[in-house]
Structure 1
Amino acid sequence: MEKNILGKINRLQIPTWNALKINDTSVMIALEEMSAYTGNPLQKEYAGIRIRKEAPAELRGSAPAILGDTLGYVQRLCNYKLHITIPEGFTAKEPVILNFYLDRDNALLSDELFISAEAGSSASIILRYMSDGDSDCFHCGYTTLDVKADSSIRLIKLQMLAENHMGVDATEVNVEAGANASVVLAELGAKKSVSGCSVQLAGNSADADLDGVYIVNHERELDMNYRIEYRGENTQGNISLRGALLDNARKTAKSTLDFISGAAGAKGREEESVLALSPEAVNLSAPLLLCGEDNVDGQHATTTGKIDEEKLFYLMSRGIDEKEARKLIALASFSSVLEKIEPENLREEITASIQEALNNAD
């Protein structure tokens, strides 16, 4: 069986000391061949929305630098393509849901997805990735979301691969004038997960929120690289990460706000709040703020802490045992991101996954 190394992916935009081991990451997988993915992620038709199995070549531009290596691997391995178009002025009444399930019959998935939101459109897209733990599975995907002028799109990606599997995923978001993109990335599974996202605020008054929620337990690893680039005037974009580390977990988070010359009046904030629930867990964070324009407002903050003892005491004084009180406090730390997730049953699914990880902590 051939060994394949996906090397030096999720690169930090401005490298720091190599000794910190945060500049990039690699994934080793075993591949004999990449057969076609025959699963059916779309379980129904969506009236008014165009969905095609192939995407026009002109949709693919050059990838953002931090995602370029991942895109190269996806294009080399790709066994599934899909192009979703939200027509001009159309408002979707229900979320478009794609469920990718990996098992013995479809153990390998390398998907290249294109989502085109035409001017004045509105929709929610949900991508869910799951796998059968009894099979040898691997996922490597790239999603491009183009949000045209005055449109509004919510994209939610839920990674729930089995704990013995590997996953690499990248998301490119391009936002034009007056448009809004809301991206929520939930990292809840996989032995090692590599998650990258780059948002380009290209048009004036474009705005975006990039939210990440994660829980890493046992011996699992998570490497995140999230970035917002401000090009248009009066753009606004925020990165917010909420997570918890348990057992012998290892997590790396790279988050960048990049103000390009000409982005006058742009505003941005990046923040991460990490609950370290085990002394053996390893947490690495590298927030970057890059500024090529004077008239901007950029802020960043990273906090790592343990359970608040005063909150713990309060809950225990109300008759809740210590273990349950710790879980309640940990779950509450995710609330600012979870409240953005719709529909409600999806929010409940993510909450249940977090609760399960807390219950199964060593």
Structure 2
Amino acid sequence: MASHVTFDLHARDGKARAGAIQTTRGRIRTPAFMPVGTAATVKAMLPESVAATGADVLLGNTYHLMLRPGAERIAALGGLHRFMNWEKPILTDSGGFQVMSLAGLRKLTERGVTFRSHIDGSKHDLTPERSIEIQQLLGADIVMCFDECPALPATDAAVAESMRLSMRWAKRSREAFGDRPGHALFGIQQGGVTEELRGESAEALREIGFDGYAIGGLAVGEGQEAMFGVLEYAPDMLPRNKPRYLMGVGKPDDIVGAVARGIDMMDCVLPSRSGRTGQVFTRHGVLNIKNARHQDDPRPLDEACGCPACRNYSRAYLHHVFRSQEIISSMLLTWHNLHYYQQIMAEMRDAITAGQFADWQSAFHRQREQGDIEPL
């Protein structure tokens, strides 16, 4: 399978891995956190601001972009990179998860999914072939197979049936993708929280052959303990020489725990969505900027953080603009959260390379357990 997308592992420390995915649009340092640019924008951020946080790659959303403004329109305008002014790599998801969670009146068959748009009720078909076609029209550097993501909890029989359908769709996605040098296709392991089903799924994917492998169907309500339980074995079932991507994760301690178990890539709306609702992630845990304790506090969110929110603004100011519903509040708090997430990734890459990941992990948890600084 010809591909100009390569993956090099530079270091291992326990199960944690540091490396780089090389694409024609640039290098993705791993472990990597991908900010989510659902509708061709990371909400409240300029693309150059996202890049300034240290992000090497963004996630775009097939479901949202196919409905508005339309994949064919984006292709005619030069592709998603040009459309949204992001020159670095883009990974697009397949749309499967959003169809299951957002669309109305959906009908699932062997062929694919027929659904009504959550925007205007218009009717659409999404099949493995159409999902791949949309992602190619967008110009994604990393394309995801079309899969079904069942909501947990579900019976073993339902999870098995869904996983096997996803594996048949993975084969069709692979055939539809063909040979596209410079672009990568990732398969998605399913199987819920059942080791046997995860193994069956991994075997099916390895047989088809992909440029990278995602672990899907987690972070859908099963809780951290169950998720970590699956991550104890699921990454080891996938090829060691290919990137492993845990979809839709997560909170800072989810991310650190996933890397400790062999994950290379993650994405989540949490840092940006939380920024808009006044939830701030720092080295000392989570704080809520709307709380009255911040209204007279001249100190930054985190004195050790180099983001613009921490360098130039006080907690008192950030509390004020959040309570006043000023747009700058979303901008600064989102920037801070994304910066913090990228800082975690950079520190983990350094710690793995230095063979000090376990020490780093202990210090990370110890600092967060201390909680926020004392009120004035």
What's the TM-score bracket when you normalise by the shorter of the two chains? under 0.3
Q: Which has the higher contact order (CA 8 A, sep 6+)?
A: 2
- TM score, norm. by length of structure 1: 0.28
Q: TM-score, normalised by structure 2?
A: 0.27
